[in-house]
Amino acid sequence: MFRNKPIVLLSAGHACVDVYQGAVAALVPFFAAEREYGYAAVSGLVLAASLASSVVQPLFGVLTDRWAMPWLLPVSTFLGGAGVALSGLSGSYALTLAFAALSGIGVAAYHPEAARVAKIASRGSHTAMGWFSLGGNLGFAAAPLLVAAVVSAGGLRLSPLLVVPALAGSALCLPVLRALAPAGRTRSAGAVGADDWPSFLRLSLVVVSRSIVFLGLSTFISLHAQDRAGGVHAGTAALFVLYLGGAAGTVLGGALADRWGRVAVARRSCLLTAVAVAGVVFVPGPAFYLFTALASAGLYIPFSLQVTLAQDYLPTRAGTAAGVTLGLTVSVGGLTAPVLGALADATTLQTALAPLILLPVASRLLFTALREPVAAPA
């Protein structure tokens, strides 16, 4: 992998972009403390970023199936960072929502085109695509630490400093695009095989279920941790463990799939996730962090596997496949966040999070009907 410099740079750039997928959730405790937002209000911010992504992500997937748009990589990276950087400057809730949505649009525009370029750079290697996905996981993991380091020092007024990863990520894209030209300026060629839409749609439902669980946890776990583990800093620690566990799960998933296959590994991860989420919701004390790590690993073990499975189910529509599996994982789940927030306001946060235990079980049932593609494209 380290000999493939474009993949290394793309992975690092992916980390810079996905910082902003985690940054909105990481800002939740600071918006709650500094602006006194309630559960429904802070979940609305996550909704704004996620709804913007869910609306435009399929569009960008279809566009990248028709036309190559490598310029989207640096532009979308900057937009993702600019939205988060501006979100802390205005006391207006409406403007804060707008900036969160701007960040979501930038993140959504990045992923289909980045996946297309990464597929060219990987030369068909699932392992290389796994490393590309890992970059995003590391960006998620870094988000709470970056936000805490910046905002704890001087409050939300220092949020413009959060644009720095976006500037770095935009710069990292440029040598990749130069190295892959002219291949990066053309559609991916040579895809063969018939598109298996029924399997792809079932896989999409699994992705949606995973999204709801992960976004629900990432939105509220920092607040839930204060009740389970105690202390203000427990929230930041829990969010960091949640994101870091995802990075470990991504690497582990690729290794396990080499031995047992992608579908078999994904099925087993669903059962691990269900047990672990139950622990997050109900187990107090230090064990709370262990269950948080296991839940995150269970959610991310099939992450890169789902990306390559989707591309193999739709061999002629790699952009659309990437738009769903990389986009919906961080967008559709946000649509349910306000529902969880309203339920938490009406009851307790623990009660609101309890239904998340059932979704990995539903995913396991959906995986029963899925099989490995007969002939994945090289």
Cβ(206)–Cβ(37) below 8 Å: no
For 215, the domain range is 5-367
**Distance in angstroms (rounded) separating the CA atoms of residues 324 and 199:** 13
Q: What is the CATH number of the domain that holds 107?
A: 1.20.1250.20
Q: Once rounded to an integer, what is the mean pLDDT over residues 167-184?
A: 83
Is 56 part of a structural domain of the chain?
Answer: yes
Share of the chain above pLDDT 90, in %: 34
Token look-up 């979308």 returns 76
Name the more confident of 31 and 254.
Answer: 31
pLDDT category at 234 given cuts 50, 70, 90 is confident
d(CA 127, CA 107): 23
Hunting for tokens 């938490």 — which residue is that? 344
Band of residue 297 on the pLDDT scale cut at 50, 70, 90: very high
9: pLDDT confidence band, cut at 50, 70 and 90? Answer: very high
- What's the average model confidence in pLDDT over 320-347? 79
Measure the CA–CA gap between 91 and 96, rounded to whole angstroms: 8
Number of folded domains in the chain? 1
Average pLDDT of the chain to the nearest whole number: 85
Q: Given pLDDT bands bounded at 50, 70 and 90, which one contains residue 182? A: low
Percent of the chain exceeding pLDDT 70 equals 91
Task: Check whether 230 has a pLDDT greater than 90.
Answer: no
Q: Report pLDDT for 127.
A: 72
Q: What is the pLDDT of residue 185?
A: 54
Q: Is residue 361 predicted with pLDDT exceeding 80? A: yes
Report the pLDDT averaged over residues 209-226: 88
Question: For residues 322 and 69, which has the higher predicted lDDT (pLDDT)?
Answer: 69
Give the model's pLDDT for residue 34: 85
Owner of token pair 């995003």: 136
Asked if the structure places residue 375 within a domain, the reply is no
User: Is 30's pLDDT higher than 80?
Assistant: yes
Does the structure show a pLDDT above 50 at 58?
Answer: yes
Residue 376 within any structural domain of the chain: no
Please report whether residue 154 resides in a domain. yes
Has residue 96 been placed in a domain? yes
pLDDT at 27 over 50: yes
CA atoms of 12 and 31, how far apart (whole Å)? 29
Q: Is the distance from CB of 281 to CB of 353 less than 8 angstroms?
A: yes
- What pLDDT score was predicted for residue 189? 44
DSSP class of residue 3? Answer: T
- pLDDT value at residue 191: 54
Q: Give the model confidence (pLDDT) of 239-280 as tens digits.
A: 889 878 887 888 788 778 878 888 999 999 999 999 999 999
pLDDT average, residue stretch 147-168? 91
How many C-beta atoms lie closer than 10 Å to residue 60's C-beta?
A: 25
Q: CB neighbours (10 Å) of residue 124?
A: 13
- Report yes or no on 378 lying in a domain: no
For residue range 79-138, list pLDDT tens digits in order. Answer: 999 999 998 888 888 998 999 999 989 988 898 888 888 878 877 666 777 788 888 878
Residue pair 113/69 in contact (Cβ under 8 Å)? The answer is yes
How many other C-beta atoms are found inside a 10 Å radius of the C-beta of residue 198?
Answer: 10
Whether pTM > 0.85 for this model: the answer is: no
Cis, bond preceding 182 (omega within 30 deg of 0)? yes
- List pLDDT tens digits, range 78-90: 999 999 999 888 8
